[in-house]
Structure 1
Amino acid sequence: MIEQSQQFASADMAVFAREARAFLDAAASRRAPETEVIWGVGEDRITYFGDDTVEEARRQVDAARAWQKARYDAGFGWITGPSEFGGRGLTPVHDLVYDGLEAEYDTPDTGVLSLIGLGMIGPTILAHGTQEAKARYLPAMYAGDVIACQLFSEPSAGSDLANVSTRAVRDGDEWVINGQKVWTSVAQHSQLGLALCRTNPDQPKHKGITALLVDMDSPGVDVRPLRQMSGGSEFNEVFLTDVRVPDSQRLGEIDGGWRVALTTLMNERASVGSEGAGPAGRAISLPFLSALLRERDRLEDPAARRRLAELVADQLATSYLNRQALDHLIAGGQPGPEASVSKLMYSQNLTRATHFATEIVGPQLLADTGAWGTFSWNELLLSTPALRILGGTEDIMKNILGERVLGLPKEPSIDATTTYRELRTSGAGS
């Protein structure tokens, strides 16, 4: 019986793969086979965050939306999603098969849609949204019509996310939101935002938060780009002034938004950590870094070779960890603490590799002499501090792993310290 089930599953996967291949052959061109790195040939820009013009960014967003729409119409836009909301109702294995096939083709980068909206916000809406919200937003998001952003961080609520002060006050069947969010990726392209709001200031901070879906074109929503030191403006601050949101766009219970936030954060760490090295992956790969060492006449340098070997080992270990996490998801599990390990290793791998490369390049990193593969590292180097913050700082990730995986004592919180000091000042604690 088991062998027969496996045969049926194998046959089903073969049919799915043929269907996916037929779609890709008709809609996109095959990529040229990967060749060895030839120093000085091709584009040498090495970046993580972009610094494209507004016009170029818009062109890329339009291309991403068009490709997502084509995938969705062909049945490959949300392979694992429930059919009632526009999904295909298949397994994560089908998703993996399709991703592997699409990687062979030259297609637009859909990161602006997938990393935050489809990777974090979509699963959160599916888990906590009302039927009305699911029906309204999920098909539109996975068809590429709606881009979503995450309205979580604030000037005084970053690592301590539960310290959000943006207020939402109930007014009949609506909520009125006032406050400020910051470091909001893709807000300038988004039609939807998931906002954490303080709805009960009398409750402990983790228990007085409500999650609301905000239409980004609502009156009172003001998106202002933030200039990064690497040159681009991919982050934004978002001001919310008397923004009205129907209660039907609430996710989860009133004052129960922290549970909703945890769903988003776990999917965030899984999405970010599984990137490998994101858009800079080729630059920190063994072939590229080996070519850099050869060009700089350091390939036989024992110290440089040892450090390169350490980098490759770390990247391989991270890829194996991601595979283990993926197997867990395929078996029906939810993103767990291993996502925090992946996220931690992801940022550290990219940072270490970038610092290694810039040390090999030397002073040519500082001035654009025109030499291929030298000054181009500058942009990636300036991006690495952000990589150690986004998706949860390294300190936060280490605390999560220490407390939830290793079972170490919980680190004293600022709130606990403040309470203790207040008691001592009042004399009650003596």
Structure 2
Amino acid sequence: MITLEAFAEEVEAYLSAHYPRAARAERKAFAWGEGSDEVRLFQEPDPETEADALPAIRAWRRGLWEAGLGWITGPAEHGGRGLSGAHQRAFERVARGYQVPGDAMLTIGLGMVAPTILAHGTDAQRERYLTGLYSGEYIGCQLFSEPGAGSDLASLSTKAVRGEDGNWRLSGQKVWTSGAHLADIGEIICRTSDGPRHRNLTAFVLDMHAPGVTVRPLRQMTGGAAFNEVFLDDVVVPDTDRLGEVGEGWRVAITTLANERNAIGATGFGGTGLLSTDRIAALVRHCDLAGDPVVRRAFGELMVALRVARYNQQVLAARARAGEAPGPEAGLNKMALSDNMAHLGRFVTDVLGPRAVVDTGEWGTYAWTSLVLGAPGYRIGGGTDEVLKNSIAQRVLGLPRPS
């Protein structure tokens, strides 16, 4: 295996030949009133802006793939480099020094769909879709939730009926589908029989450009349109695009959800970045409440919650580096995220009072509205808190199901 030093030099050589160096910004302590006062946790880009960025992202991934850097930790037999997580982190460390498009828009495809295809796909599916996803040919999305089946995914109603020609015809509606307006393929779970619950579902890889697929954006109360609803009207899917065995869709979905919750929980807000403890403390001082004993206690409780979330992330990250696949305990990260979001929203509205709902133009005050309005959504995304609590109780703690 190539040494980390030699690999870093290889990455440096490739990036320096194709991308300009990033300006080295001097790290500064947070100062109230400096820079942007936006406090956004949801990515709410304009769909047209996203579409404009796609060619550069596809070119970025294509170049990496051709250079042997597109799937650093992937198995060699499926087109990956077969290197360690340490090599992946070395790549990321070097890439931060260059102006590259990055993979933020590819999180679902590379972080959720690709691992599922690797785990459950046929050799032909792995050859086609893993190469396509990691090389930028395909952008992926996840089609699970429905208007009547969110947390209780097993009750979904989108149907897939197999015809005499062996092909499947899909009809129904999916909702809250991030990135569907950009996606080329989607991992979809459908009902394929009236058999026993959890044994009547089948997974497919869906061509998002196929006739009968309609994608419509959903406007949120925060003003963004980060999600979509997808309508399926007698969409033909060949059996070669069935993912896993017929009736085994629940097993496929569990693999995807474990990776999803791990990805969502990884942003568990441990007091870093835009939502740093320095920023929150500066807000308290700006509102002249640093001496208020009630506020001080609430601030301390919030800081403890953020730190605990960070430490739990570090434990799961260490397990991932050791080669462990994300299990049901990844739900703890996601639950910490939604709890901390709600906790932070309550804290800042208590501190700001009327300034949280009236835009006076004062820096760093009304800007928190986006966070406060968006925070409740995290209790739903990636599985509701109630579902995750049941999963952790039964699959981690070994508690019996309620009678």
- TM surpasses 0.5: yes
Residue in 2 aligned with 1:180?
A: 173
Describe the SS at the equivalent of 1:352.
helix
Residue in 1 aligned with 2:143?
A: 151
1:163 aligns with 2:155: yes
Residue in 2 aligned with 1:190?
A: 183
1:322 aligns with 2:313: yes
Aligned amino acid, residue 363 of structure 2: W
Residue in 2 aligned with 1:97?
A: 90
Question: Could you tell me whether the CA contact under 8 Å between 2:45 and 2:226 is conserved in 1?
Answer: no
CA deviation vs aligned residue, 1:119-160 (integer Å, no higher than 9, x gap): 010000111111221111111111222111111111111111
Describe the SS at the equivalent of 2:366.
coil
Offset, 1:38: 1.7
Question: Could you tell me whether the CA contact under 8 Å between 1:130 and 1:249 is conserved in 2?
Answer: no
CA deviation vs aligned residue, 1:46-71 (integer Å, no higher than 9, x gap): 11224443322323444444443444
- Residues of 2 paired with 1:51 and 1:402: CA distance? 34
- Name the CA shift for 1:231/1:62 in 2 (closer, same or farther; >3 Å): farther
**Which one is further off, 210-219 or 127-136?**
127-136
Residue in 2 aligned with 1:255?
A: 247
Q: How is 1:202-281 mapped onto 2 (pairs within 5 angstroms)?
A: 203-277=195-269
Offset, 1:256: 0.9
- The correspondence for 1:375, drawn from 357, 366, 379, is 366
Question: Could you tell me whether the CA contact under 8 Å between 2:177 and 2:229 is conserved in 1?
Answer: yes
Offset, 1:362: 2.1
Percent sequence identity is: 46
Offset, 1:328: 1.8
Question: Could you tell me whether the CA contact under 8 Å between 1:130 and 1:250 is conserved in 2?
Answer: no
- Name the CA shift for 1:381/1:258 in 2 (closer, same or farther; >3 Å): same
Offset, 1:355: 2.5
Describe the SS at the equivalent of 1:205.
coil
Describe the SS at the equivalent of 2:382.
coil
Question: Could you tell me whether the CA contact under 8 Å between 2:161 and 2:192 is conserved in 1?
Answer: yes
Offset, 1:274: 1.2
Offset, 1:204: 0.7
- The correspondence for 1:113, drawn from 89, 92, 106, is 106
* Count of aligned residue pairs for this structure pair: 400
Question: Could you tell me whether the CA contact under 8 Å between 2:46 and 2:225 is conserved in 1?
Answer: no
- Residues of 1 paired with 2:24 and 2:346: CA distance? 30
Aligned amino acid, residue 61 of structure 2: Q
- Name the CA shift for 1:31/1:55 in 2 (closer, same or farther; >3 Å): farther
Question: Could you tell me whether the CA contact under 8 Å between 2:22 and 2:96 is conserved in 1?
Answer: no
TM-score with structure 2 length normalisation?
A: 0.92
- The correspondence for 2:380, drawn from 341, 366, 389, is 389
Question: Could you tell me whether the CA contact under 8 Å between 1:65 and 1:110 is conserved in 2?
Answer: no
CA deviation vs aligned residue, 1:377-421 (integer Å, no higher than 9, x gap): 111111111111100111111111111122222135xxxxxxxxx
Aligned amino acid, residue 383 of structure 1: G
Aligned amino acid, residue 150 of structure 1: Q
Residue in 1 aligned with 2:74?
A: 81
CA deviation vs aligned residue, 1:26-79 (integer Å, no higher than 9, x gap): 524144132111211211121122444332232344444444344434433321
TM-score with structure 1 length normalisation?
A: 0.87
- Residues of 1 paired with 2:12 and 2:298: CA distance? 41
1:313 aligns with 2:292: no
- Residues of 2 paired with 1:107 and 1:301: CA distance? 46
Describe the SS at the equivalent of 2:204.
strand
Residue in 2 aligned with 1:285?
A: 276
- Residues of 2 paired with 1:13 and 1:140: CA distance? 27
- Residues of 2 paired with 1:134 and 1:354: CA distance? 43
CA deviation vs aligned residue, 1:323-351 (integer Å, no higher than 9, x gap): 22122222222111220111111221222
- Residues of 2 paired with 1:70 and 1:355: CA distance? 45
- Name the CA shift for 1:277/1:103 in 2 (closer, same or farther; >3 Å): farther
Describe the SS at the equivalent of 2:240.
helix
Residue in 2 aligned with 1:34?
A: 27
- Residues of 1 paired with 2:252 and 2:353: CA distance? 46
Offset, 1:25: 4.7
- Name the CA shift for 1:381/1:327 in 2 (closer, same or farther; >3 Å): same
Describe the SS at the equivalent of 2:274.
coil
Question: Could you tell me whether the CA contact under 8 Å between 2:338 and 2:376 is conserved in 1?
Answer: no
